[in-house]
Each structure stands twice: as C-alpha cells, then as structure tokens.
Amino acid sequence: MTNFIKYNFIILIAALFSSCATSKQPTANHKTMVIGAQQVDCTGVGPQKCYQVKEGDAAEWSNFYGAIEGFTYTEGTEYVVEVAVSNVENPPADASSLKYKLVKILKETEKPFVKINGTWVISTLNGEVTDPMKTYIIFDTNKNSIFGFAGCNGLNGQMEYDEENNTYKGGPFMSTMMFCEEVAENERALGKVLEKFNKVAVEGDVITISLDDEVLLTAKKGVNHQNIYKNWKVSFINGVDDLGEKAPSISINNRSEVSGNGGCNNFKGAIKLDAFSNTVKIGPLAATRMMCPNGDVESAFFAQVDKVDNYKIENGELQLFAGDQLVIKAKK
C-alpha cells in the first residue's frame, strides 16, 4: 500500500511539473500564407524592404514587416508556406508581438517577370564593345518601367507584360535631346532594341533580350550607381569626435570626377566605380595648400578617403568603407 501511495505521489508531482513547463511555452497557431515574388519598399521603424503577403481569402497584397524564422527568400519566386505563429512575451516597443516560424514550404512558383528587375550592363551593342559604366538597361517591375542609357541621353518608357504568353512590349519612350556624336550610333541601336523586343530570359546573372527567336542583345546583372552622383556633406569621419564649424564636403559626378572641400582646402580628382559591384577608388586627389586653423579634421578626412574601397547608400546617406570598417558618412 505504501509503495502504491509513493508511486501515485511521484506521478502527481511529474504531472504538475510538466503542466508548469508547458504553460510557459507560447501556443503556436498554424496558418498558410502566400509570399509574393518581389519585395517592396516600406517604412516600419525606418525604411526597409517588406514581403508582400496574402492570408486566407485576401485578394490584395499587404506588407509583411517582420521576419520568418527558417525561411530563405529568393526574389522572383512566389511561395505558399505554412507558418507557426506565436505570441512574444514582453516584446520591445519597436518589435512585433508575434513570432513567425516556417513549418514547411507548400509550393514554389517562379515568376519570370520579376527576375528581370534591376540593372543590366551591356558589354556589346550594335556589334561594338561598349563602356559598361555608360551602357545599361534598368527594368523596374514595380513600376513597369524601362530606363536605357548608352552614354549620353536617357531613354524612359513603360513596358507591358503578358503573363499567359510570357511576352513583353516596350514603349512609348521619351528621351533627352542632347547630341553626342561619339555614342549616337549606340543610342539609336539601343532605342531600336527597346522598341521592338518581345521576349526576355534570365539565366543566372545574364539577361537575353529577343524579338521572337532573334537575340537582340545580352547583358549582365550590374549595379546602378546613379544615387552616388550628388553633392554630399560629411557628417562622420572615423577617429574624429568634432568636425568643427565647416565639415568637409564631396561632390561626385557621372564623368568619373570627384571634387569638394576638406574643411579648408578645395580638392578635385578621379573616382573609379565598378559596373558590377559597389567597389570604389577615390583619387589621386589634388588640393590647394592653404594653412588652416583646424587642420586635423582635414588631414583625417583625406587619410580616410584614401582607404575607401567600397560604399553603400542607406536612407539617403552615403557610407564609405575600408573593407568592413565604416570610415566616412555623408548626407545630401
């Protein structure tokens, strides 16, 4: 009898501990979501990229601001997923109160139209080798727009996509009217391609643009540097606590030229960008040689500029790096 009581007492205690442990775990509800093939710009705590999602019988896409644990997203693919959704205890003020975790991917569907999104660098046009920094096409599948550039005038136009037949139609196009004899033939050739193409195929980082079975041109996935071509005011220099009354400035144009002021002396020189990456080399620079009361800031600025080898632009801010180290920040 005594053993029987002991046995039941042990079972009771184990059940109580199990119940307590279970009660501490948030209950997860499972749901099915469709995740669109393209992310969009959105604003949560700050500017970010959001998934486009549909839940239940929703006909319209809505922004999804959080993350899905265990889910790896590839743009150009639409997903149907099962996720576990649980409550987060005491979430930070700027975070979601819900946690999403991938259970399984139910379906994946490639969307060819979304795959063409981005900047495509043209290396040959009209049978001639071209400057990759000055010859490219930008497809914006969010806006259904095309921008073409062959060294002088920009071509802006719309495009239509027939998903059922996987065909395209470009135009009409508008262009600036500058006359640049050295690239005039290339501009005409690019204009003809964009006006008559009806097929696009993407394999890896190469895009092929065709009219039926006739290949009109091929291009390689590149980087659009247009947003760096501006006047910038320096707001941070690595190792400098106080920039003083006159912070350095830097101006970058699309002719591979850089100029500005180090805080006292004016400077100018060259900048080299890469059509396929965010690598950058600034210099050599030539500067005036005035004696300056706050020369330490200027010296630090020029020293850090000399180290820069890559950049990015986030929220309208230019960030210059030496490897992984942020050395200069600047704002428009």
- 123-155 per-position pLDDT tens digit: 888 777 888 998 999 999 989 999 999 888 999
Residue 6 within a domain: no
Same structural domain, 70 and 152: no
* Band of residue 271 on the pLDDT scale cut at 50, 70, 90: very high
- Beta strands 310-314 and 280-287, pairing class: unpaired
**For residues 132 and 222, is the Cβ–Cβ distance under 8 A?**
yes
Residue 141 within a domain: yes
Same structural domain, 264 and 278: yes
* pLDDT at position 77: 93
Residue 164 neighbours by CB distance under 10 Å: 5
The domain boundary, picked from 167, 194, 221, lies at 221
Same structural domain, 157 and 249: no
The domain boundary, picked from 163, 194, 221, lies at 221
The domain boundary, picked from 48, 81, 110, lies at 110
* pLDDT at position 81: 96
Same structural domain, 32 and 96: yes
* pLDDT at position 24: 47
Number of structural domains found in the chain: 3
Same structural domain, 216 and 243: no
What is the C-alpha end-to-end distance of the chain, expressed in Å?
A: 85
**For residues 200 and 116, is the Cβ–Cβ distance under 8 A?**
yes
Say which CATH number the domain at 195 has.
2.40.128.270
Q: What is the CA radius of gyration of the chain?
A: 28
* Beta strands in 274-308, from DSSP E residues, in sequence order: 280-287
Residue with tokens 């942020």: 326
Query: How far apart (Å, rounded) are the C-alpha atoms in residues 63 and 44?
Result: 10
Same structural domain, 88 and 127: no
**For residues 311 and 324, is the Cβ–Cβ distance under 8 A?**
no
Per the structure, the complete domain to which residue 187 belongs is given by 114-221
**For residues 186 and 150, is the Cβ–Cβ distance under 8 A?**
yes
DSSP state of 277: S
